[in-house]
A and B are shown apart, each in its own frame.
Chain A
Amino acid sequence: MSAVGGAAGPVLQVEDLRVRFQRRGEVATHAVDGVSFAVAPGETVGLVGESGCGKSVTSLATMGLLPKRGVHVSGSVKLDGEELLGAGDRTLRKLRGKDMAMVFQDPLSSLNPTVTIGTQVVEVLAEHRGMKGDAARREAEDLLDRVGIPDPRRRLGEYPHQLSGGMRQRALIAMSLACSPRLLIADEPTTALDVTIQAQILELLRDLVQGSGTALVMITHDLGVVAGLCDRVHVMYAGRIIETAERRDLFARPRHPYTGGLLASVPRLDGGRGAPLTPIRGSARDTIPWTQGCAFAPRCDVALDDCLVEVSGSEVELADDGAGRQLRCRHPLTPAVPTAGAHP
């Protein structure tokens, strides 16, 4: 993979990221608990997991968008080699929107209802590219056109409530791409949209990223999104990465029982009408702290006694697992016993 934007090496390097929420009078929760990953230029990486697994917090911590009060962030987040954690607000503001940008889940609530689309696009251009007046407007029009919004000149003068859901998300993408960022984080960008629109938006993201060298981090709970877009996938559970693999490998041979479960719970066209869907037992709440054992153990069908620290005497670590793979599990699913229908 060639470095497009000058510096060789990864665009984003996250090392041992930890985020702890501490509200007054409450027990601290470790939303993100030692997450490391890297994204190379032009690469698309997926962070996958159920809601509450820490994937969104990871992305907000990367962007420096977590509230300051009651939140402790540690570890390292490097953008093109520059450390972001501990950087001042002013520095981060210069980077955000310019070198790293983000697309959010709900396009309606993510757009200011009282300001026109045009102003919301132009303000990015004004902030980071010093553009003003007609030049800025023309550039904004051009951006809307590039993300496939028809009649962009008219749309510039309209308000978010006048646009359809898909249009709003396109407008948000236009804003995030206004300065051709090195890194784009998309946090469930299609969840709030109609299924037909979802595919269009994903395609748009892929087209925009391809060739530009922009590194894309895709945060999703939807394995369909992963299958269509991502090069590498990190599966997260209870604040930690539990499995990492190339997309093809992951779908062909899920090793962690949780990954297997995720794959098994997706309906498949080739599964036949009678093929049963196998949901994972329980919910993301039924978990134990990693310090006491594998957090997934209470929901796991193949867990054994040594999944608990009490029995084995050590925590379950993330370890290399063959070519380009990593795994945090003592009793991985072997290819010989795939969960029902869990192969492509």
Chain B
Amino acid sequence: MLRFIVRRLLQLVPILLGLSLLLFTWLRLLPGGPAQAALGERATPEDIERYNQVFGLDQPIWVQYLKFLGRAVQLDFGNSSRTGRPVTTEFLERFPGTIELTVFAMVFAIGLGIPLGYLAARKHGSWIDSTSVIGSLLGVAIPVFFLAYLLRVVFAVDLGWLPGSGRQSVRIDATHVTNFYVLDGLLTREWDAALDALLHLVLPGIALGTIPLAIIVRITRAAVLDVVNEDYVRTANAKGLATATVRRRHIIRNALLPVSTTIGLQTGLLLSGAVLTETVFAFGGVGSALKDAIDLRDYSILQGFILILAVVYVLVNLLVDVSYGLLDPRVRVK
């Protein structure tokens, strides 16, 4: 198992190198180049020249890449052209919010998706089945940001049931230790703050989790329908095992294998969707910051954030691969 993990980690190296090269090239190809990116739209030609000299941009391109790589390894992605603060600082400040949001969305998608998919398969051909199939087809067809607006207008603006913007109400005077607001509330025992932060996650979380939910329902359903017809399920029944044992040990356990592999891929959808959802709910996480960076042409932020998010995505998938290994002995034990 350890060798499996090490091997997978080694496979990451070329991907991460390629990723850095890609984003390095991207910044270079931008109109105005890195100087413009760092100094912003209003920089004068003299500023740009001075910048180029100071940061060695007149050196050969491969030297520049190595320097970029060296800085990237130390998590130095330059400064935001808008605020002048380091990109990494900006990211770390906002990432906890996005993590809370994506985790909520994923819990929503998995917690609802797997039971629903299982139920649909067990009641194959019933109205529950048809409804979840149609629902899951609709789920992937709805533009995320439209759904986000819809939820916000209906449940926050019109009905006023749930908060529709930000991460926490202004009236709450919460202490922030980790910047994970829900966690902070629990750590400091400010229960109302934790609850308030949690409520702020509900609408954007549901909007963000809908596509993964739709996909998980469909995959679970298909997997259960497949597994139910497997020979080993027939064997389990032939052994006279209790229905509950057959379901738990022989059907669900095997049906979860294909589901677990897709969960890693869903993270990509979540990180993409976070840009849209956070924008609609003015959530103030990484996604909102990316939208601002697009509007203001803050290229350092774009480059740094996208690079870090890609690394996060790759790492999550590695994690999912490893846990898949734990679930499936055919991968683990050779």
Contacts and interface: CB of A to CB of B under 8 A. Distances in A.
Interface in A84-116: 89, 92-98, 101-102, 104, 106, 109-116
B241 A127 contact: yes
A51 to B, nearest CB: 16
A113 B235 contact: no
B330 A96 contact: no
Interface residues of B, number: 24
B231 A123 contact: no
A278 B56 CA distance: 87
Contacts of A65: 234, 237-238
A141 to B, nearest CB: 18
Contacts of B234: 65, 104, 110
B31 to A, nearest CB: 54
Interface in B214-239: 230-232, 234-239
A308 interface: no
Contact of B257 (A63, A114, A158, A159): A114
A98 B240 contact: yes
Given A123-B249, A127-B241, A161-B330, A109 B231 contact: yes
Interface residues of A, number: 34
A325 interface: no
B32 to A, nearest CB: 55
B313 to A, nearest CB: 27
A172 interface: yes
B200 interface: no
Contact of B240 (A94, A111, A119, A159): A94
Q: Which of B232, B238, B243, B257 has the most CB of A within 10 A?
A: B238
A63 B230 CA distance: 17
Nearest to B236: A112
B271 to A, nearest CB: 30
A144 to B, nearest CB: 16
Contact of B329 (A63, A96, A124, A161): A161
Contact of B241 (A97, A104, A113): A97
Given A110-B231, A114-B328, A159-B330, A124 B239 contact: yes
A22 to B, nearest CB: 15
B333 A96 contact: no
Given A111-B232, A115-B249, A123-B245, A175 B330 contact: no
Interface of A: 63, 65, 89, 92-98, 101-102, 104, 106, 109-116, 119, 123-124, 127-128, 158-159, 161-162, 172, 175-176
